[in-house]
Structure formats: structure tokens, C-alpha cells
Amino acid sequence: MLSKAMQDAINEQIKNELYSAYLYLAMSAYCEANSLPGFAHWLRAQSQEEVEHAMKFFDFVNERGGRVVLHAIDQPPVEFESPVEIFEATLEHERKVTAMIHRLFELALEEKDYPAQVMLHWFIDEQVEEESNAGQILDTLNMIGDKGQALVMLNKELAKRGG
């Protein structure tokens, strides 16, 4: 059974994961409106992945006899200056999520909640991948800039991401 502290912390993380989904969906909408369908596709797939993360936490709470309590989700930003700004924000956001996951793991250690520690290992590994992916795209954007043929090529490459 989950402790109240762990249950409350995971419920907060469910909200955070759903906010991440909402943020990436807002970014996707911006890209779609600005004729960057490949970027929009990549960000929409990222949004769907964040919903899956929220559901992993949701299922974990239920499997452990806890109670999921959903919290209000803030509105994400809807306007961005460029694809570079979007991926700077993406990388910064993923770093914040990594810190959140680390705090959850620290709580699981304090509580000696071994099942939570095992589950959170998956998220720790996932965050390494999330930061790496966002960082690589940002590095590419910084090399090629926000305009021109190279941006069109990157847009086509991002459209290949599977859901």
C-alpha cells in the first residue's frame, strides 16, 4: 500500500505529466499553424507519450491500493518565436521533469517504498532519453537556424517519428 505522502506526490506528478502533454500539444498546434507539419507531428507524438507516462503513474497508484485525485492543469503558452525557442523550452521543461522524478525517487527511498523505486527507475531512464532527444534537435536547430532549406529537411525528418 502507498503511503499518503507517496500517493500525494504521485498524484501531483500525474498532473505534471498531463501538463507536459498539454504543453507539447500547444507547441504542436503552433507548428501546425506555422507550416511546420513535421515539427507538429513530432510534438504531437511527444504529447501522446506524456499521456502514457501519466497513465503509468495512474495505474501504479491504483495497483497499490491508493486513490488517484486529479488536479487542475494550467494553460500552457500558445505563442512561440521560433522552432529554436520551442526546443529550448522543451529541453528546459524536460530538465524540470527530471528533477521532479528524482524528488519522487528520493521520497521512495525515504519511505522504503521498493515497488515505487522500481517503477521510478523506468522514468529515470526515460528522462535521459527525453533530454537527449530534445537536446539533439535543439543542437541541430542551432546549427541550421530557423529558416531555409535545412529547416525544411529537418521538418521532413521529424515527420518520420513513430507514435
Is the pLDDT higher at 160 or at 96?
A: 96
123-154 per-position pLDDT tens digit: 999 999 999 999 999 999 998 877 778 888 88
Domain annotation for the chain: domains and CATH numbers: 4-158 (1.20.1260.10)
Dihedral sign, Cα of residue 57, residue 58, residue 59, residue 65: positive
Looking at residues 23-51, what average pLDDT do you find?
97
CA 160 to chain centre: 19
53-84 per-position pLDDT tens digit: 999 999 999 999 999 999 999 999 999 999 99
**Which pTM does this prediction carry?**
0.93
Task: State residue 149's pLDDT score.
Answer: 84
| Whether residue 163 has pLDDT greater than 80 | no
Alpha helix ranges (H) inside 82-160: 83-111, 114-144, 149-158
CA 155 to chain centre: 20
